[in-house]
Chains A and B, each alone.
Chain A
Amino acid sequence: MFNFSERMRGVHLDHRKRSRMNQTVFMPSPATVEISLSQHIGAPCEPLVAVGDSVFVGQKIADSSAFISAPIHSSVSGRVSGITERLGANGRMTRAIVIESDGLDTPDPSIAPPKVNDQASFLEAVRNSGLVGLGGAGFPTHVKLAAKNINTLYINLAECEPYITTDNREVFEFATDIIDGIRTVLKYTGIPKAVIVIERNKPIAAQILSELCADIETVSIKVIGSRYPKGAEKVLVYEAGGPLIGRGKLPADLGVIILNVSTVSYIAKYLRTGMPLVRRRLTVDGDKIKNPGNFSVAVGTSAGALLDFAGIDSSQINMLLAGGVMMGSCLIDLDTPILKNTNALICLERYASRNKTPCIKCGRCIRVCPIKLMPAAIEKAYDRGDVQELKALDVDLCINCGCCSYSCPAKRDLSHKNQLAKELLKNAK
């Protein structure tokens, strides 16, 4: 009652997982793809091809020598027609390689399953696959897997955002790949055990995976309550009985690694086929969408092309999100290409009102914050530029889940202010 327990709270959201029973639809490669050179957290890649070059499906077209980075591959066969610049969802200009498809989808002849026999060759293979976290954050997977002294691998199957069902579909369609991927990671990294963490609202997925790993001692299933934001790394690990990832700590510092279920499943697929990450599944849904679904899409396909393929009238859409309704970012136009880490396109006709009324000090923002911050106080401190106070209010711990803004009866942009306050604090140091 007094909320003294160290429970990470959050909010109950309407799940709207209508697309979970719809088989993934294969979308043929479009006539043109625009492959962004910034598909992951970390350094953007440099192009390895020039305008006029012919490319195959799976051919490496960009790479970087930076540690936190992953190579990028062509998702179609055809000819490089240009290298453009585009305003990304993060508000920064990013370069992109435009490729005209020849419609044949000819794979790169050099593609073959990688030879993996130890940790070094395994990490090398994961890097060569271009794999990044498919759950949304897009952190290069080989960097995560290179961490030392890990005692538990957590597999994230929380999928706590409304609408999105792509990870759920991965279980329905490729459950054995998931288990294979986990065993492969455990084998080559020497991590002793893995825990698959599932939200309670996916009982069939939990059932399928439980049966598959019943005989595997090193892999267990942990079902947690379905409450947003259970899929946030910090919350997920804590809820599953793992350590608390405190200020400035990476999960690896505390001996844990978290991989999204589709990410680990892809590792198994890559080791089998050698085809780099050039396609991904994403959910297309929204508030007025009559035919939601999951689609296997070539990386670099434009959002508009996918909507057309999905039979969605884009003239009815007022807001288009890459990712979920709680944490996704707004696309600026329909030409924006799909990235490796785009797990959903959410089309909204009705969007949250920005009409704010005065704060009534109701305390809902504190009640729902998984980190137990005081967003209303942070807003006031930010508005008067009080860096000392922002520091005392620990705004740097905010995970940007958006629960405060969601639950505010005065409809104040609390999580937005939190992000601005974090920047202010960072720049003041």
Chain B
Amino acid sequence: MQDRFLIVTSSPHIKSSVTTQRIMLDVLIALAPTLAASVWLFGPRTLFVTGISVACCVFFEFISQKLMKRPSTLYDLSAIVTGTLLAFCLPPSIPLWILPIGAFFAIVVVKQIFGGIGQNFANPAITARIVLFLSFAAYCSDWTSPFAWLGKADAVSSATTLVSSETLPPFTDLLFGMRGGCIGETCAITLILGGIYLLARRIISPIIPLSYIASTVLLCFAFGTDPIRTLFGGGLLLGAIFMATDYSTTPVAPLGKLIFGLGCGVITALIRAFGSFPEGVSFAILIMNILTPIIDRTVKTKPIGDDD
């Protein structure tokens, strides 16, 4: 008999370096330029708001997993991603006491109660944002003008650039995010940069962002809205690149992804054109999140060599 033992497992015996943690880190890296842009545009308060939001999400993740006696998954960084995205879709002037409420909804109600990472049926950040918007409409529609923190502009402008009575800022201003809006939705150039990074790292597939953005712009154009306003006026880029590409809550198959993207586009355009809210991105993504299990069940990949 041998005096030493060899390890025996099933194949394969090597694994790629990609981990859930690395994927979430890549998303955070992709979000970082937009956070920096928000500080430049709206002042250091955005950094503070994001920090509090992240801290609340991490806290609720830790506490709920302790109470539910589940192994902690803090290491996978997903709570930090949720916290950042939640802050990104709130206005810069959001009162800080609202953040723990949003974080509670995102992490406890939407994510952990349904079984934690990978099991949630809706995007935690999107759902929390909708809850906050419907509950605290006044605080959540208080749009700070860019550079107001430097005393260069009026402190508050009332409406978003999505409302067509508002004059549209020049194109370059829009590209760099110089308009009122949520913390992380205004700076188009950093959002697109982040999207390109995620595509290059193969974290996301281009199908959802492209089909979502293209269908929204086309439909809104048909309803009489300037494509520039559609694209850069609201939260379409943030939603299409970072929210509608969440793995757990979107279809797996390429065709399913296409249906999801087009569905988001149609709903966003309909809400923007005919709904009582100026913005429809978060509702569109939530509705399509709910439809995702049905899409997944209907659209399956056809295996090669399956002839019956």
* A residues with CB within 8 A of B: 1-4, 6, 8, 11, 13, 162, 234, 238, 244-247, 315, 317-321, 325-335, 346, 348, 351-354, 357-364, 366, 370-374, 376, 393-394, 397, 400, 402, 405-411, 413, 415-416, 419
Contact = CB atoms under 8 A, between A and B. Distances in A.
Given A320-B6, A358-B73, A411-B19, A406 B12 contact: yes
Given A333-B2, A409-B20, A358 B118 contact: yes
Interface string B273-308: 000000000000000000000000000111111111
| Interface size, B (range) | 35 or more
A409 B1 CA distance: 38
Given A247-B308, A357-B19, 12 more contacts: A1-B206, A330-B7, A333-B2, A333-B6, A357-B76, A358-B118, A361-B252, A397-B306, A407-B18, A409-B19, A409-B22, A415-B11
Interface string B1-42: 110111111111111101110110000000000000000000
A352 B7 CA distance: 11
Contact of B247 (A8, A353, A362, A400): A362
Contacts of A320: 6
B6 A246 contact: no
Interface stretch (B44-52, B86-94, B253-261): B253-261
Contacts of A406: 12, 14-16
A326, A352, A413, A415, most chain B CB atoms within 10 A: A352
Contacts of A361: 118, 247-248, 252
A395 B293 CA distance: 21
A347 B253 CA distance: 38
B247 A326 contact: no
A112 B7 CA distance: 44
A234 B304 CA distance: 10
Nearest to B18: A409
B156 interface: no
A183 to B, nearest CB: 32
B81 to A, nearest CB: 11
B55 interface: no
A353 B307 CA distance: 37
A351 B118 contact: no
Given A372-B304, A394-B303, A360 B118 contact: yes
Question: What 10 A-B pairs have minimum CB-CB distances, sorted nearest first?
Answer: A402-B12, A330-B8, A416-B10, A352-B15, A363-B252, A246-B305, A333-B2, A360-B118, A326-B12, A394-B303
Contacts of A162: 14
B305 A348 contact: no
B116 A318 contact: no
B12 A358 contact: no
Nearest to A246: B305
18 contacts: A2-B255, A11-B16, A238-B304, A315-B4, A317-B6, A320-B6, A331-B6, A333-B1, A334-B6, A352-B15, A360-B23, A371-B303, A374-B300, A376-B252, A393-B300, A409-B22, A409-B23, A415-B12
